[in-house]
Structure formats: structure tokens, C-alpha cells
Amino acid sequence: MKIQILNNIARQGLDVLQKNDFILSDNDSDVSGIVLRSHNLTELVLPNNLLAIARAGAGTNNIDIKNCSKNGVVVFNTPGANANAVKEMVLCSLILSKRDLVSGNKNLDSIDIESKNDEEISKEIEGMKKRYVGEEVNEKTLGIVGLGAIGSMVAEQSMALGMKVVAFDPGLTVDNALRLPSNLKRYNKIEDVLSESDYVSLHLPLNQSTENLINSENLKLMKQGSVLINFSRGGIVSEHDLLEFLEKNHLHKYVTDFPTKNLLKRINVKRDVMIFPHLGASTKESEVNCAVMACSQLSNFLKDGKIVNSVNFPNINSEKYGTHRLFITNNNEPGIISKIAECLASNKINISEFVNKSRGDLACNIIDTDDEITVGVVSELEKISGVSNARLCY
């Protein structure tokens, strides 16, 4: 099978694919899978043979998930693979947002070191210090919106800095809940978190329910002089409303990893915005983790039909119970499974194991058998109304 590689993917990830006999390509001709980071696929016409897309990162707003789902294309992401890198950036931002260390460092360039001796330089530096008096994070309150892999790590480490942590996450999973510190206070409303916090850090995916979530209605609830940190996605914060509240000096600072024209214009005249060029996950370790995780998930799916960390299809796995394995995606509708079974029975194929999983409107199936499955049988399965994809894994 051929895999299209978009963006620079760490060598360790590509090695996973090549060791499993996949052919790497930089074009979309006859590809079964795509691996990417930030490449925009929202306008992509899906290649006929495409089975899966693996995003080496958490966000998938650069992929047309709806179109992929309609065509039975499984989309993977890598939640948690870059969590430590982003966590470190958030902790760094907590401190930098109220202690202007960057400006203090830059201002050292203004000292005329050629005409001054060490004593004179020291005296000038002492005079500078009063401009950069900041605040400590110890005993301040951090509000976390989103307690996934990154949010839960930020919660734990910020407590180690002496902060009180409050949080909101309506979709908290059991696994993530078990990782949370016992003294973290969880609220059922985002409004309670915003109104109580000195710092607010966002850790949410960008989707219809979170777009412009932080708007004027929520910003007015935040404390005067508080800090908003966004290393999730720019679209979660209404830029128009944010700039209005910065202009009114309601917020002390907005820290983000997503530059825009308006924010870059503001940073040149104000000191209430701190912007990074999308560096949250830019560490060697994170890039390797994301690449290996994405490529491993893609490889396991294409070889065995196993799904882990898909954003549109359910997780599915099965031990090997036969010589041959079918993988089928379909609409989650009554009667389709029976039609699949009838098709196999009419072709004298006995089912050794049948695993079906569903997620919303979509479902997928792993079917093992010791009987030979021909191309004709696969073609018959694909013609069943509601079946979007059928293939022979082995």
C-alpha cells in the first residue's frame, strides 16, 4: 500500500511505515493513507482508494471530517503525544505573562557597554528593575477549561507551583478524571471558572460548539487584570471581543500561539499581547512522539483494521480468529449487519468472529473467517446500501 506524506514527518514515524512494507509517496496517486501535520485538506477531493488519514497532532480542523466520514475514511489524531511540550509552554506563559522578563532582557541592549564600566552598568541596571516588577503565580488561581491530556498535566504541575486550580470540562472522560489531582475543584459551568480565576488556560478542540466560546459575554466575567492563555486554537476566542476587552484594560494580557494580523498589529503598540509562532508542540520529543503514534495507528488500521484514537469512527480491535479478515464501514442503521451476514452466507463464507462498533451515525466491523474471500465478494459487500467501504485486510 502507498502512503502520501504531507509536511515534514519525523523519521522515526516514517520508519514505522517502511518497516511494515508501506510505500511512501509525496503525491496522492493511488494512496491508501495520508500522514500530515498542518497541511490543509479541507478542500481535498478524496482519492478513490483512500482509507485513512493520520494527523500527527491533536487538532483536526485542517481536515474535512464530514466528507471523510461520508466516504468511510477513518481520521486519526494523536492525543497526548505533544501534551508535555504544550504543558511546558503554558507553565512558561503563566510566569512570563506577569513578569516581563522578555522586555527586561531586550532592554539590556540599550546599555552603552563601550562607554561604561561594570559599576556604571550595574547602577543603570538597578534603575531599570523598577520597570519590571511583576507578580508571582504562587497562591493565585488558575482556571482550566478542558481537562484532556494537556489540561490535566497543566493542573498537576501548576499546583506544584503553589497555585489553586479550578476547572470546567463537560466532556471529561473516566481515564482523564482518574489522572486529576484530588484537590482540583471542578465546576459544572464555565462561568464559575472564569469569574474565580486570575489566569485562564484553554485546552479544547475547535469545533462548532467551541468556536468563539470566549466572547464578550464570557470575557466580562473574568477578573479585572486577569490573563487569558490559549494554546488550543485561535478560533476558540472571539478576536473582535478580545481586542475590545484588552482596549478597556479589563485583561492584563492575552497569550496565544496563533498569530493574526490584528494581534500582530497590537503587539507593536501595546504590551498586553504575547504571541508565539505556533511553537506549543515544537520540540524534538513532541514531533517524534506524534509521528510515531500517527504512523503506528495508521499501520495497525491498514494491516489489521484496528482503530485507536479516531476522531470520526469508534475504537475497534479484535484478536486474530481466522485466516482472513474483512473490515467494513457503514452507516449506523438497522438491518445492515444482517445484510452483511447474508452476503457472506450466500457466498458460503463462515464467520469465525464478528465485531461491530458504532459511534453516532457511523459503524465499523471486523469479520474473521477461515474461508477464502474473493474480490467479487468484497465488491458485493460494497454494493450493500449503507456500506461506505469494504476491504480485505489479509
In percent, how much of the chain has pLDDT > 70? 100
**Which of 248, 275, 302 is the C-terminal boundary of a domain?**
275
Rounded Cα distance, 4 and 23, in Å:
9
Q: How many domains does the chain have?
A: 4
167-195: average pLDDT: 91
List phi, psi (to 5°) of 221: -80, -20
Q: What is the pLDDT of residue 174?
A: 84
The answer, yes or no, to whether residue 107 has pLDDT greater than 90, is no
Rounded Cα distance, 86 and 94, in Å:
12
Q: What is the pLDDT of residue 121?
A: 93
Q: Which of 203-212, 287-296, 366-375 has the lowest mean pLDDT?
A: 203-212
The answer, yes or no, to whether residue 269 has pLDDT greater than 90, is no
243-261: average pLDDT: 97
Same domain, 222 and 142: yes
Angle at the Cα of 324 (from 318 to 329), degrees rounded to 5?
60
Averaged confidence pLDDT in the chain: 95
The answer, yes or no, to whether residue 193 has pLDDT greater than 90, is yes
The answer, yes or no, to whether residue 178 has pLDDT greater than 90, is no
* 3 state SS for the chain: CEEEECCCCCHHHHHHHHHCCCEEECCCCCCCEEEECCCCECCCCCCCCCCEEEECCCCCCCECHHHHHHCCCEEECCCCCCHHHHHHHHHHHHHHHHCCHHHHHHHHHHCCCCCCCHHHHHHHHHHHHHHHCCCCCCCCEEEEECCCHHHHHHHHHHHHCCCEEEEECCCCCHHHHHHCCCCCEEECCHHHHHHHCCEEEECCCCCCCCCCCECHHHHCCCCCCEEEEECCCHHHECHHHHHHHHHCCCEEEEEECCCCHHHHHHHCCCCCEEECCCCCCCCHHHHHHHHHHHHHHHHHHHHHCCECCECCCCCECCCCCCCEEEEEEEECCCCHHHHHHHHHHHCCCCCCEEEEEEECCEEEEEEEECCCCCHHHHHHHHCCCCEEEEEECC
Same domain, 91 and 157: yes
pLDDT in tens, 277-302: 999 989 999 999 999 999 999 999 99
Per-residue pLDDT band at 179 (split at 50, 70, 90): confident
Containing structural domain, residue 188? 83-95+136-275
Same domain, 53 and 2: yes
Kind of pairing between the strands at 324-331 and 387-392 = antiparallel
More confident residue, 171 or 323: 323
Same domain, 225 and 153: yes
15-38: average pLDDT: 95
The answer, yes or no, to whether residue 175 has pLDDT greater than 90, is no
Same domain, 148 and 230: yes
* Residue type, position 44, single letter: L
Same domain, 88 and 225: yes
Same domain, 368 and 381: yes
Contact 220, 245 (CB under 8 A): yes
Q: What is the pLDDT of residue 16?
A: 98
Q: Distances from the Cα of 284 to the Cαs of 255, 279, 289, in angstroms? A: 23, 11, 9
Same domain, 115 and 144: no
Same domain, 255 and 146: yes
CB atoms within 10 A of CB 291: 28
* Residue type, position 23, single letter: I
**Which of 228, 249, 275 is the C-terminal boundary of a domain?**
275
Grid cell 471542578 is found at 186
In percent, how much of the chain has pLDDT > 90? 86
Q: Distances from the Cα of 169 to the Cαs of 13, 160, 203, 226, in angstroms? A: 32, 21, 9, 21
CATH number at residue 334: 3.30.70.260
Grid cell for residue 259: 498569530
The answer, yes or no, to whether residue 29 has pLDDT greater than 90, is no
Same domain, 148 and 158: yes
* Exposed / middle / buried, residue 282 (Cβ in 10 Å: 0-12, 13-18, 19+): middle
Per-residue pLDDT band at 10 (split at 50, 70, 90): very high
Same domain, 236 and 89: yes
CATH number at residue 28: 3.40.50.720
Same domain, 287 and 342: no
121-128: average pLDDT: 91
